[in-house]
Amino acid sequence: MGDIKVFKTVVSIQSILQFDYKKSKIGLVPTMGALHEGHMTLVQRSIKENDCTIVSIFVNPIQFNNASDLENYPRNMEQDLQLLKEQGDVIVFAPSVSEVYPENFQTVKLELGQMGLVMEGKFREGHFDGVVNVVNRLFEIIHPAHAYFGLKDFQQLAVVQYMTKKFALDLKIVGCEIYREKSGLASSSRNQRLTESQLIEALVISQALKQAKISAIDKSIQEVIEEAKRIFAASSLELEYFQIVDPTTLMDLKEWKSGAHACLTAYCGEVRLLDNLQLKPA
Ligand code: PAF
């Protein structure tokens, strides 16, 4: 069991970083809490690669474009702290909204171009402005050497990498593989909102992606997309999008290329689930 220290204010976390961890290499794992095994793989990696690991737990209101999604986002601080304790020594930064966004807070604007207009950018207006602002603010407060993000949020990782380059930030963004349950379901905080039967219904997501990878061997992109749409039409999930994109620009592909990636979002009841899979080797 590790030692967990929790800080709720910017002043308190900055003073411990300045006095006790001045020369330390800091790893940051930004989260919105409701932690799961997927987060733990990020935490483990950070513990291995840094002198000190900070996990931020902050449900960022400005990245939600839907009030009920924000309200229903799972929160469970006690359980989160217990899970983190099992990983080793971790510092938790769990600020309030007014700590992250004080009255004099100046929002940053990052022009994302097409990357910000497709997939999540198209279906969740303003989402990436919120992500860019909170991640940039966390970087400003903590000054990590490494920051860890899951590949499940494939577009988010691309946006954060782009932001780091554009703002010339002095840190390394580390993308970590998707953690999947034995069933194939990608770990997500939102899975906590699924009923027993929905957990089974949601398996169509990983099954459709696996099928797309098989079909990508000898079918065209259009055929693979049509097949995925048929799989969802025969299920109880409502597909929002299924796209096959360039892994760097996130633009739809017309012809196969190395690293081609399938990205999708589907509703299982009220719960919006996200997943992706690389269909062609990079
Ligand atoms: O992926 C998430 O949990 C959030 O988008 C992040 C990166 C913590 C920013 O709020």
For ligand 1, what atom is nearest to the CA of residue 59?
10
Q: Which CATH number fits domain 189-274: 3.40.50.720, 3.30.1300.10, 1.10.630.10, 3.40.50.1820?
A: 3.30.1300.10
The pLDDT, as a whole number, for residue 140 is: 98
User: Among 35, 69, 120, 156, which is best to mutate for testing ligand 1, by the most ligand atoms less than 8 A from CB?
Assistant: 156
| Nearby residues of 106 by Cβ (< 8 Å), 6 or more positions away | none
Question: Residues 66-96: pLDDT tens digits?
Answer: 999 999 999 999 999 999 999 999 999 999 9
Residue 153 CA, closest ligand 1 atom number: 1
Using pLDDT thresholds of 50, 70 and 90, give the confidence band for residue 222. very high
CA distances from 116 to 125, 158, 202 (A): 9, 10, 27
* CATH number of this structure's domain 4-176: 3.40.50.620
Atom of ligand 1 nearest to the CA of 30: 8
Q: Residue 45: pLDDT band by 50, 70, 90 thresholds? A: very high
What percentage of the chain has pLDDT greater than the value 70? 100
pLDDT tens digits along 130-183: 999 999 999 999 999 999 999 999 999 999 999 999 999 999 999 999 999 999
Token digits of residue 7? 């800080």
In this prediction, residues 211-239 reach a mean pLDDT of 98
Q: Is beta strand 261-268 parallel, antiparallel or unpaired with respect to 238-245?
A: antiparallel
Nearest of 245, 243, 275, 280 to residue 259 by alpha carbon: 280
Strand order in the sheet with 261-268: 238-245, 261-268, 271-278
Instruction: For the chain, give the percent of residues with pLDDT over 90.
Output: 99
pLDDT value at position 38? 97
153 pocket-lining for ligand 1 (C-beta < 6 Å): yes
Residue 275: which residues within 8 A CB-CB, separation 6 or more? 152, 178, 186, 205, 206, 209, 263, 264
pLDDT at 130: 98
Active site residue 39: yes
Residue with CA at minimum distance from ligand 1 atom 8: 31
How confident is the model at residue 154, as a pLDDT? 97
Residue 278 pLDDT level (bands cut at 50, 70, 90): very high
For residues 10-17, average pLDDT: 97
From the CA of 68, how far away is ligand 1's center (Å)?
18
Backbone dihedral angles phi then psi of residue 46, each to the nearest 5 degrees: -65, -40
Distance 30 CA to ligand 1 centre (A): 6
Q: What mean pLDDT comes out for the span 115-124? A: 96
Ligand 1 within 6 A of 31 CB?
yes
pLDDT, averaged across the chain: 97
| Per-residue pLDDT tens over the stretch 180-208 | 999 999 999 999 999 999 999 999 999 99
Atom of ligand 1 nearest to the CA of 63: 10
Query: Could you tell me the residue ranges of all domains in the chain?
Result: 4-176, 189-274
- Tell me the pTM: 0.96
Rg (CA), the chain: 19
- Ligand 1 in contact with 30 (CB < 6 A)? yes
| C-beta of 133 in contact with ligand 1 (< 6 A) | no
Task: Look at residues 37, 71, 41 and name the one whose alpha carbon lies nearest to residue 53.
Answer: 41
- 244 C-alpha to ligand 1 centroid (Å): 23
| pLDDT the model gives residue 246 | 96
